[in-house]
Amino acid sequence: MDKSATVRWEHAEKIPKFERYERRNTKISAHVPEDIELEEGDEVRVGETRPISKTKSHVVMEVLEDD
């Protein structure tokens, strides 16, 4: 997993029965190119690509800067 990162998306899903939203998350494995340096907690932009391995079909495109 040297060239991999686990990316988590958080989203809200509506529950019609209770008329409320619940927070859910999705975890994917993404390939990290050699020219990108990441640390835990960084926000990144991820793009879909051809399957790289059994679990990786996304690639980290850039690190988003916090304002």
Residues 6+ apart with CB under 8 A from 55: 29
Mean pLDDT, consecutive 10-residue stretches, the chain (67 aa), reads 90 96 96 93 94 95 82
CATH of the domain at 29: 2.40.50.1000
Looking at the structure of the chain, the number of domains it has is 1
Q: Is 16 helix (H, G, I), strand (E, B) or coil?
A: coil
Domain that holds residue 58: 4-63
Which pLDDT belongs to residue 67? 53
Cα(57)–Cα(50) distance, integer angstroms: 6
Which pLDDT belongs to residue 1? 77
Ordered DSSP codes for 17-63? TTTEEEEEEEEEEEE--TT----TT--EEEEE-S--SSSEEEEEEEE
